[in-house]
Structure 1
Amino acid sequence: MDLNKILDASNQEEIFVVDYSISIDDYVAIDLSKQNEDLKLFDVSSSKAWEIYINNYLKKANKKVAYGGYLEHRNLYDRSDYFSSQTEEAQRNIHLGLDLWCPAGTNILAAFNGVIHSFNDNTNFGDYGPTIILEHSLGNDMFYTLYGHLSRASIKNIKVGQSVKQGDIIAQLGDAKVNGDYAPHLHFQIIKDLQGKVGDYPGVCNVKELEFYKQNTIDPKPILGLV
């Protein structure tokens, strides 16, 4: 399974995973890596401070969605014991999905036709919170898309095996109270082999694991037309 095969199989020119009424022209790239000096100007341990920063960034750019983060080295996970380690090499701080920052309550859409593989409320501090994983097939090949940081209502009335179509509304974004204590955003990840995981899959890795996850995930930006 590779990016070109997925792109060739797509049956529409544009694929959206957040509200399709928001044009791609209203998206703006954002750098949340440890090299971004702006992140030293506010309390990165505070979800409220993050939300203010994201909202000001969008307002200044006159855009509605900020995106980025695939394979980005970040310091923002240092606040959580769930990601931290005593050694720098084992520190989980490399982001494996694409983040799309926009308001809580924003509709989340299925990227491709498929079925609900699994879902879970991952409640560790700094984790995904409510999460849905969809399973997709291309011929004999399977791949998966993960949607994290959703509202709790999004996982109340769904079933494993339930069919979804590309563009269907499958969820809404959650707020900091339920989404792992982050400013509202979607973590969207494309995974080749789910490795037996159910309702969860690593969205952050350490440098020792990076080569494996680079092979087992796909950069979502070309699929969403963000290149």
Structure 2
Amino acid sequence: MNNMSFPQFIQSLSQSFIPVIDSGFSKEHYSFIDLSISNKKLEVVDVSSSKAFEEYINEYLMLNKAKVAYGGYNEIRGIYNRSKHFNQQNPETERNIHIGLDVWCDAETSVLVPLAGTIHSFQNNKNFGDYGPTIIMKHIIQDVSFYTLYGHLTEKSIENIEIGQCFETGDVLATLGDALVNGDYAPHLHFQIIKDLQGNMGDYPGVSNKMDLAYYLENCPDPNLLLKI
């Protein structure tokens, strides 16, 4: 990386838009969506219901004449309050700050590999509100090792892959799951870049509390530095 920081290194790996879902969607098909606690429109949406949330996403896409919604990095969200997996009484330790990039579109949409790499690990994270089926890839570029995580997949996405299996840029890695398997969310991809996995296998926190946020923002830079949506 020479004198570059890790986020600067990630940014240097691409010069233009890289798709992480179905290559039939161009950059123009994407629209940024705000799912933070400051979005007043969410106050009338039952975010505890994956069906109601999916209706909100679909209506947003229609109104914005888009096919894919994206966003969420370093975003404080209220949607995690429904799950004991995240919700705690102490505001310092409550995990509600999202540290990946979400890409919202239909279930069964293809998930693409944005950078060549190998399968590091995978598993089905079945907690309510968790990732569901998850794949982590390892990348070594210019002697720098780092990882990418793909969450909320179909169960079949992790049935026929092996640790160490190679994928090239643009290859289909997986497909997006629906609420029955993806942790009970509207269909979407959680994509995260991770410098140090801290020994994790098939899982890594995608939501932080206030206390640990500085570390996670350093260890998990904004994925849009790479994707350039």
* TM-score in terms of structure 2 length: 0.95
For the Cα contact (< 8 Å) 2:112–2:174, is it kept in 1?
yes
Question: Contact 2:74–2:98 (CA<8 Å) still a contact in 1?
Answer: yes
- Mapped partners of 2:218, 2:91: distance in 1: 22
- Give the superposition deviation at 1:13: 4.0
Within the alignment, does 1:201 sit opposite 2:207 as a pair?
no
Q: Matches of residues 97-136 of structure 1 in structure 2 within 5 Å?
A: 97-136=100-139
Identify the range of structure 1 (213-222 vs 65-74) with the bigger mean alpha-carbon deviation.
213-222
Deviation at 1:112, TM superposition (A): 0.5
Q: Which amino acid aligns with 1:140?
A: D
Counterpart CA distance in 1 for 2:214 and 2:192 is 16
Q: Aligned pair 1:165/2:168, yes or no?
A: yes
The separation in 2 between residues aligned to 1:150 and 1:129, in whole angstroms, is 7
Q: CA–CA distance in 1 between the matches of 2:124 and 2:45?
A: 29
Residue 179 (structure 1) aligned with residue 164 (structure 2)? no
Superposition misfits of 4+ residues, deviation over 4 angstroms: none
Residue of 191, 195, 200 corresponding to 1:192? 195
2:21 is matched by which residue type in structure 1? V
Q: Secondary structure at the match of 2:76?
A: coil
Q: Provide the residue aligned with 1:2 in structure 2.
A: 6
Provide the secondary structure at the position in 2 that maps to 1:88: coil
Task: Please give the secondary structure, in 2, of the residue aligned with 1:218.
Answer: coil
Q: Which amino acid aligns with 1:174?
A: G
- The percentage of aligned residue pairs carrying the same residue is 55
The one-letter code of the counterpart of 2:204 is Y
Amino acid aligned to 2:7: L
1:137-156 equivalent positions in 2, closer than 5 A = 137-156=140-159
Of stretches 14-23 and 51-60 in structure 1, the one that deviates more from structure 2 is: 14-23
User: How many Å separate the matches in 2 of 1:108 and 1:139?
Assistant: 25
Task: Give yes or no for contact 2:118–2:166 (8 Å, CA) kept in 1.
Answer: yes
Which amino acid is 1:30 matched to?
I
CA distance in 1, matches of 2:119, 2:171: 12
Alignment of 1:5-16 (within 5 A): 5-10=9-14, 13-16=16-19
Output the CA distance in 1 between the equivalents of 2:76 and 2:8.
26
How far did residue 221 of structure 1 move? 1.4
Return 5+ residue gaps in structure 1 as ranges: none
Q: State TM-score, norm by structure 1.
A: 0.96
Residue of structure 1 in register with 2:63 after alignment: 60
Cα deviations across residues 33-85 of structure 1 (Å, max 9, x unaligned)?
00111111121100000000000000010100000100100010000000011
The CA RMSD over aligned residues, in Å, is 1.1
The number of residue pairs the alignment matches comes to 225
Selected match of 1:225 from 222, 225, 228: 228
